[in-house]
Structure 1
Amino acid sequence: MTIMRHVFGVAAVATLGAGAAQAQTYEMTLAHVLSDQSPYQVILEEFKSLVEERSGGDIAVEVQCCGQAGNEGRAIQSMRTGILTGGMVGGSTLETVVPAYRVLSLPYLFEDKSQAYEILQSEMGREMLDLLDEYGMHGLGFGSIYERSVATKAPARVESIDDMEGLKIRVLPTPGFVEAYKAMGTQPTPMSYGELFMAIQNNVVDALEISPDAIVADGFYEAVNTYTLTKAHQSTTVFVLSKSFWDGLPDDMKELVHTAALEAIDVGIAAHDKLADDGLVTAAEAGVEILEPDLAPFMESAKQSWDVILTDQPEATEFKERFEAFMAN
């Protein structure tokens, strides 16, 4: 019996040793709400390619597009609870969970897209990403900036701030965007992205605020007649992971994932900027009239929402002040 116990013990140790020698594998499901032709998809597919190759197959990535994991609010909740590994989400959507992110819903906060990139890729941007760890998420990096303007379906048409009065417009379902468009005189209608095409097609709304690349990628040029370059928001995007997944990675895998994410974001930003430029041309060729109004009255009206958006939001207010100081230098 002693000999048999000894033999069994050796076999058990050998089995455990063999198991310990095998590399730990990780499965990631990354989701977003845009189409499979979008910059979100470009970023996540590039990330998938990089991490699967560099990990030697120890990390496997599945990319889900088109709202398969639900709208952004639901996806964020799934990340926080560990049901979903991660994905691309709008910075403004995060304001419903992370109060400091409300600063990103301020209309005309940044002068242009390049300034937004400069600030969000600075130390201040890193600080904003680090805040996500307090809310069950981990921020890998800020992605593409979506310059959002107003697309309308006839007979609606926006040539000046006066044309915004009473306009029923779909906005991102966040408090900041709702207040911004209220200040411009519209009737803001919060709605998830997946509902948007049918809403404009069936006259549920008269207009939508959207970036030029999305007009083309998701076929909105078939449903709208004009696109007015109001440029109220330089809308940020964030590559986010579930904190529980991130915390479960060893340090070498964390470094691999983080590096791959930043490289993928660079690829996605380049793709997005080209899509945005091409989007205006393609939309115009498809018959969408591109209008360029005087932006001063839009800015004056929209910025009246800042105090409301930042009410009882000390962290967001502090970031706003720091952004302004940076831009003033």
Structure 2
Amino acid sequence: MKFTKQILGAATALMLAGVSAQAQTYTMTMGHVLSDQSPYQVTLNEFKRLIEERSNGDVAVEVQCCAQAGNETRAIQSMRTGILTGGFVGGSTLETVVPAYRVLSLPYLFDDKEQAYEILQGDMGRELLDLLDDYGMYGLGFGSIYERSVASKAPARVASVEDMQGLKIRVLPTPGFVEAYNALGTQPTPMAYGELFMAIQNNVVDAIEISPDALVADRFHEVVSSYTMTKAHQSTTILVVSKAWWDGVPADVQEMIQTAATDAIAVGIAAHDELAAEGLETAAAAGVEIIEPDLGPIMEKAKESWNVILTDQPEARTYLERFQAAIGN
């Protein structure tokens, strides 16, 4: 009888262990710095819906918007240490961690965002994502491409390279943006995004470089008078998770997460394209002049910054050569 009880007890323990393993859940906290109306939020909301549905609730996702996890630099550090599961970050921010990513901040690297999507959603994009492994992160995919152009406040108005001379413009605080606008003859002024609205409103800067959806989402169209479609940077975004967290998840769950991320990114890109088009329409309706300049001279001047941006960056230069070969330039 005692032996039988021991067998039954062991069997019950094994059964309970199996139930416990099957019921194991994984919680993901995914953050970003944009608003709760942004394409980032659309993508992560869709990711949350898909993965929670497909995993039958075994993977739960909390989405944090509006820099709740800090700015992108802080968020990246939190991902690398495993404090934050993951989220969306800009390629321009990641270039301070991953040297090869400097190539992504070159002005006019791609002819347009369609070309950027073709390259970054393909094998070379996956190769770039795999570089994150050495820096404590895993790349789930490249997200929306933000075509950044120049929004100016009167009397500043940009229709040519000549109009840009001496223009005080807020840029992202990375070499790719600073040097590009140096080459264009402006006074590039790196500044945190949270300080930007007051800066343009109070004439601290004459202009900002920004995508059309953000122009409207964050109400800059209320304080600028013109928007010049320079499209100097096809600014990349990347959905990233902590490598330490990722390595602790079983292979089948990893595959489920990756598939959900890829599907959600496609939804986010479509939403971003729609928001960008609507942004231009809304800005124009509000009285903002939409200017389409001759891009030839602007592009020529901006590309003079490439060698400066890639100084002492052999990995980034190698990727530039490969991008150009793929594009056919």
TM tier, shorter chain?
Answer: over 0.9
Report the equivalent of 2:160.
Answer: 160
Distance 1:276 1:47 in 2: 21
Q: Tell me, which stretches of 5 or more residues in structure 2 are unaligned?
A: none
Paired with 2:271 and 2:148, the residues of 1 have a C-alpha distance of 17
What's the secondary structure of 1:159's corresponding residue? coil
1:16 Cα shift?
6.8
Question: For residue 19 of structure 2, what is the aligned residue in structure 1?
Answer: 21
Instruction: Give the distance between the partners of 2:138 and 2:191, measured in 1 at CA.
Output: 26
* Structure 1 runs (4+) greater than 4 angstroms displaced: 6-17
1:308 corresponds to which residue? 308
Partners of 1:92 and 1:297 lie apart in 2 by 24
**What secondary structure does 1:241 align onto?**
strand
1:105/1:233 contact within 8 Å kept: yes
Q: Could you tell me which residue of structure 2 aligns to residue 319 of structure 1? A: 319
Q: Is the 8 A contact 1:130 1:138 kept in 2?
A: yes
- Does the residue aligned with 1:62 lie in a helix, a strand or coil? strand
How far residue 203 of structure 1 moved from its aligned partner, in angstroms, is 2.1
Task: Return the alpha-carbon distance in structure 2 between the equivalents of residues 12 and 314 of structure 1.
Answer: 60
Report the counterpart of residue 220 of structure 2 in structure 1.
220
Which residue does the alignment assign to 2:255?
Answer: 255
How far is 1:268 from its partner?
A: 0.5
Match of 2:121 in 1: 121
The secondary structure found in structure 1 opposite 2:95 is helix
**1:206: how far off?**
1.4
Does residue 298 in structure 1 map to residue 298 in structure 2?
yes
> What's the counterpart of residue 109 of structure 2?
109
CA distance in 2, matches of 1:312, 1:7: 72
Query: CA–CA distance in 2 between the matches of 1:149 and 1:29?
Result: 32
* 1:293 CA drift (Å): 1.1
Q: Structure 1 residue 36: deviation in Å?
A: 0.8
How much does 1:21 deviate? 2.0
Distance 1:16 1:105, change over 3 A: same
| Aligned amino acid, residue 283 of structure 2 | A
Query: 1:227-306 residue pairs with structure 2 within 5 A?
Result: 227-306=227-306
The Cα of 1:80 is off from its aligned counterpart by 0.7
Distance 1:42 1:235 in 2: 18
The answer to whether residue 45 in structure 2 is matched with residue 45 in structure 1 is yes
For residue 11 of structure 1, report the CA deviation from its aligned partner: 6.0
Query: What's the counterpart of residue 130 of structure 1?
Result: 130
Partner Cα separation in structure 2 for residue 13 and residue 308 of structure 1:
69
What SS does structure 2 have at the residue aligned with 1:109? Answer: coil
Distance 2:326 2:138 in 1: 25
Deviation at 1:9, TM superposition (A): 11
Q: State the one-letter code of the partner of 1:308.
A: V
Amino acid at match of 1:231: K
Once the two structures are superposed, the pairs formed by residues 133-212 of structure 1 within 5 Å of their partners are 133-212=133-212
The range that moved more, 44-53 or 11-20, is: 11-20
- Contact 1:71–1:193 (CA under 8 A) maintained in structure 2: no
Kindly provide the amino acid, as one letter, of the partner of residue 81 in structure 1.
T
Look up the match of 1:56.
56
CA 11–317 in structure 1, closer or farther in 2 if over 3 Å, else same? same
1: CA distance, partners of 2:200 / 2:12:
65
Counterpart Cα distance in 2 of 1:301 and 1:163: 13
**Cα deviation, residue 17, structure 1:** 4.8
Spell out, residue by residue over 1:212-254, the C-alpha distance to the aligned partner (whole angstroms, 9 max, x if none). 0111111111121110011101111111111111111100100
The one-letter amino acid of 2:116's match is A
* Aligned pairs (5 A) from 1:24-103: 24-103=24-103
Contact 1:33 1:194 in 2 (8 A): no
Offset at 1:297? 1.5
Asked whether the equivalents of residues 67 and 194 of structure 1 are also in contact (C-alpha less than 8 Å), the reply is no
**What value does the CA root-mean-square deviation take over the aligned residues?**
1.8
Matched-pair contact (CA < 8 Å) for 1:86–1:242: yes
TM superposition shift of 1:141: 0.5
CA distance in 1: counterparts of 2:14 and 2:88, whole angstroms:
39
Q: Tell me the distance in 2 between the aligned counterparts of 1:79 and 1:281.
A: 37
